[in-house]
Amino acid sequence: MTPDTEAKISESFASQSLMQTLGATLQSIKAGRVEIAAPILESSKQQHGFAHAGLTFSIGDSAAGYAALSTLPADHEVLTTEMKINLLAPGKGERLIARGRVIKPGRRLIVVQSDVFALHDGVETHIALMTGTMLPITPE
Amino acid sequence: MTPDTEAKISESFASQSLMQTLGATLQSIKAGRVEIAAPILESSKQQHGFAHAGLTFSIGDSAAGYAALSTLPADHEVLTTEMKINLLAPGKGERLIARGRVIKPGRRLIVVQSDVFALHDGVETHIALMTGTMLPITPE
Amino acid sequence: MTPDTEAKISESFASQSLMQTLGATLQSIKAGRVEIAAPILESSKQQHGFAHAGLTFSIGDSAAGYAALSTLPADHEVLTTEMKINLLAPGKGERLIARGRVIKPGRRLIVVQSDVFALHDGVETHIALMTGTMLPITPE
Amino acid sequence: MTPDTEAKISESFASQSLMQTLGATLQSIKAGRVEIAAPILESSKQQHGFAHAGLTFSIGDSAAGYAALSTLPADHEVLTTEMKINLLAPGKGERLIARGRVIKPGRRLIVVQSDVFALHDGVETHIALMTGTMLPITPE
């Protein structure tokens, strides 16, 4: 991963207004691995007071997408074409952490996985397993 | 569907703070079919200015979940156990509309589908196909 | 769809040895829609005597793939990149019928759906809902 | 896992006629982990001479299902409710190996993952990532 790619990921993340609305932050960028965290805000909950699955999905999808982008030249983009989420436990606690990684890099398609954890009193619980496909977009 | 179930769905929706954050509204509740809409707010976008996939997922998942709930007695709940989204087109326009429906009702599991559309200058474009499984929760 | 495409689909189907092993037959080819059927052979069962999910998946995936291929020029191929199956009911009866169709055609990716039915004493039961993504392969 | 559970898995596997048709064998049973292998028979191929995705799915789904069953008392059963497969590479070689494991055990639902590999000239290639949900069936 070049410094250009890293700068580009930070810039792209900063321009996603939903990530700001959710309070999400980019925690780390490595080649093929990206971590995003978000507090479980009062404004991000479902009807029982836990993190909404929409929050879990949003940061898990972004972490996976940027993990894919980290394997491409700095002038490329990626689009999520499909993503499946299996919810394993309620999003209970103060904070969610999504760890995305590339399972299979590629020129035409990149297969990715994200694991999302809830942090509660210092203990991480695995709350979601996500697998999906990212489509690299080459500059014209 | 009893009036109790309908009232319960409206109340549950109102208590999901993420739905309010996203500006989502419950458009209609019928037996096995629920529609939820949301404007594409400045605060709900991805890096290219379109609706974030997290917004699409959030309202599609909720529409599917409430469609499942509409087939159950008023004292039940549902949980999403898994949901897959295939993204078909960018979320471009003023507003997203999610139409959830029950494919297979059940006592132990309910299989659901949601189709999400973007409304742009009065024209609806199909932007996402979602299929998932809801788990009915019986009161103890 | 050109006659060339139709001939090519029949030929490709005939060259899939697993389809012959399962006794599957190509029932109809229309633009964007393909139907494949298979008897529930003694050799295609799971431990309770019903159709094995592997049989259901195999014909559902093939029906979806050929539905995608029917939308492309005759010199193209398709590959399944991902496919999700929700099983709705046991595969009980004499015969399975898979109906594949294109949800979203495309040059880079084609989103498809298959519905699989079990035929028992003349009655069709919906046993599986499948959604997936096909990758068109252009001749070099 | 009790010896009863292990015996029950072997017996159940032996009674799946499709597994015999595909030449599949149960390679190992551990608590929460099951391995199934199958040769790429002349009768299990797709149109380009590689392993059919139906073969990959069949052994991956069975490995995941038995991994789930290994975490339950010997009088229980499991049913696949949903399974997604991401295909990573062609099934090229002499043999496929599916390794199923439990991601999240449970009384109501068990989330599983299977990784399928193709063995070619002694080298394993990761050809499929599968995630799914198994439904435990309690004896009445």
Q: Report percent pLDDT > 90 for chain B.
A: 92
Kindly calculate the radius of gyration of chain B based on its CA atoms and give it in whole angstroms: 15
Numbered residues of chain C with Cβ closer than 8 Å to any chain B Cβ: 84, 86, 88-89, 103-104, 111, 113, 126, 129, 131, 133
Per-residue pLDDT of chain B (140 residues), as tens digits, is 788 889 999 999 999 999 999 999 999 999 999 999 999 999 999 999 999 999 999 999 999 999 999 999 989 999 999 999 999 999 999 999 999 999 999 999 999 999 999 999 999 999 999 999 999 999 87
Query: Could you tell me the pLDDT band of residue D45, with boundaries at 50, 70 and 90?
Result: very high
Closest residue on chain A to D126 (Cα): A104
pLDDT at position D89, please?
A: 97
H or E stretch covering D55? helix D53-69
- Partners of C62 on chain D (C-beta within 8 Å) are 54
Burial of B126 (0-12, 13-18, 19+ CB in 10 A): middle
Rounded CA separation A77/A65 (Å): 9
Residues B76, B65: contact at Cβ < 8 Å?
no
The total number of residues shown for chain B amounts to 140
In angstroms, the separation between the Cα of residue D56 and the nearest Cα of chain C is 9
Say what the pLDDT of residue D11 is: 95
Chain B: residue whose CA lies nearest to D84: B84
Contact by Cβ (8 Å): A129, A65: no
Confidence (pLDDT) at C140: 78
Strand partners, B38: B96
Computed over every residue of chain A, the mean pLDDT equals 96
SS (H, E, C) chain A: CCHHHHHHHHHHHHCCHHHHHCCCEEEEEECCEEEEEEECCHHHECCCCCECHHHHHHHHHHHHHHHHHCCCCCCCEEEEEEEEEEECCCCCCCEEEEEEEEEECCCCCEEEEEEEEEEECCEEEEEEEEEEEEEEECCC
Contact D112/D63 with Cβ under 8 angstroms?
A: no
**N- to C-terminal Cα separation, chain B:** 22
CA distances from C116 to A71, A116, C134 (A): 38, 33, 18
Higher pLDDT pick, C5 / A1: C5
pLDDT, tens digit, for every residue of C99-116?
999 999 999 999 999 999
Residue C2 has a pLDDT of 82
- Cα distance from B16 to chain D (closest Cα, Å)? 25
For residue C50, give the amino acid letter: F
Q: What tens digit of pLDDT does each residue of C41-53 get?
A: 999 999 999 999 9
Confidence of residue D98 (pLDDT cuts 50, 70, 90): very high
Q: Is the model's pLDDT at A140 over the cut of 80?
A: no
Task: Name which of A130, A103, A102 is nearest A116 in CA terms.
Answer: A130
The H or E element that residue C67 is part of is helix C53-69
Helix (H) or strand (E) holding B62: helix B53-69
Q: What angle (nearest 5°) sits at the alpha carbon of residue C86, between those of residues C84 and C91?
A: 120
Q: What angle do CA A79, B68, A57 make, to 5 degrees?
A: 25
- Chain C CB contacts of B133 under 8 Å are 86
Q: Do A109 and C84 touch (CB under 8 A)?
A: no
- For residue C139, name the pLDDT band (cuts at 50, 70, 90): confident
Nearest to D47 among C12, C21, C46 (CB): C12
Q: How confident is the model at residue D140 (pLDDT cuts 50, 70, 90)?
A: confident
Nearest to B114 by CA among B33, B52, B41: B33
**Contact D30/D67 with Cβ under 8 angstroms?**
no
Q: Tell me the pLDDT band of D29, cut-offs 50, 70 and 90.
A: very high
pLDDT at A7: 94
pLDDT at A139: 85
Q: What is the DSSP letter of D140?
A: -
**pLDDT(D33) > 80:** yes
Q: Complex ipTM, two decimals? A: 0.96
